[in-house]
Amino acid sequence: MTVKSIIISRPDDWHVHFRDGDILKTVVPFTSKFFGRAVVMPNLTQPVINNRIAKLYRKRIIDAVNSEHQFSPLMVFQLTDNIILHELVCGFENGLLTACKLYPINKVANPYYGVTDIKKIYNVLSVIEDLGIPLLVHGEIYEKYVDVFDYESEFIKYVMIPLRLQFPKLKIVFEHITTKEAARYVLDSDEFVAATITPQHLMFNRNKMFIGGIKPHFYCLPLLKSIVHQKALLDAIKTGCDRFFLGTDTAPHLKIYKESSCGCAGVFSSPIALALYATVFEKFDMLKYFEAFCSFNGPKFYNLPVNKNFIMLTKKENIVCDSIFCCNDKLIPFLAGEKLSWSASVIK
């Protein structure tokens, strides 16, 4: 029997990039319309590393939310060698801080705002383990000796496994996983390890980015992987494990920076995120896991309540807009101009 509509509890997006300035004002409403909460990445030009910056950034986000939308941004501190532990603890105890973010060594433009050696923040990790603050990890190793398609699997061996041995009760979100190794690692882990999965890594493999000419709007980090890894992500969801949940990693860049000789990584998916997920869940016969993945699993891991209102997904043609004007340029949505088979609407 063909499913014509689905009603789910209002979902949350556990990984978004809102940027700042005019881009923030442009993109926030796409998330706030359909999602009750979103975990906001802290990697701005001036990263979110203390309560003052977090409060100001949160206000800018809230100011960009449509007055009819019911939405709360969840703030994250970017960990650095010099993070002030007192700031972190106060932010969490006052309800401002939801999680901490660990970016890959050698991936932060300004070393002052990065972690050069994870052992330098062991004291911080010990405290957030005790407090139950989730650690969000971009699980890749960026080293010249590592093949770009192996960044994630190498991260598991050289960072994740030692980290968990040192801090076994540290809550970790392995963000935007892309490989069979990561899927298996999460499945084999205990209740302290979860993972987000993006729509693009479920829908496509690396053939989509390369065959027929390079497609810059499919370029994201972590990269799309082979069909073997794509299938492993789908199979992980089909297990019904409640430690996989929605995280779009929507990451807008202006067209001029995407379509260039050295283009930026990031897929701008927020305008059609739920339609993307519904499309791939239907295609691979996973709709019975759809609401849990979108609406239940994330709140359970973060110890937050499920949102009380609802969203409807309807089986009808949905043509993705070609572009969105911003900053005297354009933002190009993922799958711009293409047809999707699902549309999302808010139940009032």
Instruction: Answer yes or no: is pLDDT of 114 > 90.
Output: no
176 labelled ligand-binding: yes
**Count of CA atoms in the C-beta half-sphere (13 A) of 85:** 11
50 labelled ligand-binding: no
Q: Which amino acid is at 156?
A: I
Instruction: Answer yes or no: is pLDDT of 292 > 80.
Output: yes
Q: Which of 10-14, 66-70, 111-115 has the lowest mean pLDDT?
A: 111-115
Give the model's confidence band at 172: pLDDT under 50 very low, under 70 low, under 90 confident, else very high.
Answer: very high
253 labelled ligand-binding: yes
17 labelled ligand-binding: yes
Cα–Cα distance between 20 and 102 in angstroms, integer?
A: 20
101 labelled ligand-binding: yes
Could you say which architecture CATH assigns to the domain 13-304? Alpha-Beta Barrel (3.20)
43 labelled ligand-binding: yes
Cα–Cα distance between 182 and 165 in angstroms, integer?
A: 17
**Conformational region of residue 176, where left means phi above 0, alpha means psi within -120 to 50, and beta covers everything else:** left
Q: Evaluate the CA torsion angle 285, 287, 289, 295 in order and state its sign.
A: positive
Per DSSP, the residues of 110-151 read SGGGS-S-GGGGHHHHHHHHHHTPPEEE------TTS-GGGH
| Beta pairing partners, 312 | 7, 345
Dig out the tokens for 106 from the structure.
Answer: 């050698």
State the distance between the two ends of the chain, measured CA to CA, in whole angstroms: 28
Give the model's confidence band at 109: pLDDT under 50 very low, under 70 low, under 90 confident, else very high.
Answer: low
pLDDT at position 45, please?
92
pLDDT at position 1, please?
59
Tell me the pTM: 0.97
Name which of 215, 183, 184, 189 is nearest 202 in CA terms: 183
19 labelled ligand-binding: yes
Dig out the tokens for 121 from the structure.
Answer: 């923040």
Q: Can you give the residue ranges of every domain in the chain?
A: 13-304
List residues with catalytic annotation: 249
Cα–Cα distance between 48 and 342 in angstroms, integer?
A: 36
Q: Which amino acid is at 235?
A: D
In percent, how much of the chain has pLDDT > 70?
98
69 labelled ligand-binding: no
pLDDT at position 347, please?
94
Give the model's confidence band at 111: pLDDT under 50 very low, under 70 low, under 90 confident, else very high.
Answer: low
Instruction: Answer yes or no: is pLDDT of 105 > 80.
Output: no
| Beta pairing partners, 38 | 13, 73
Instruction: Answer yes or no: is pLDDT of 281 > 70.
Output: yes
Q: What is the pLDDT of residues 192-204, one digit of tens each?
A: 999 999 999 999 9
Name which of 171, 191, 187 is nearest 179 in CA terms: 187
The gap from C-alpha 158 to its chain's centroid, in whole angstroms, comes to 22
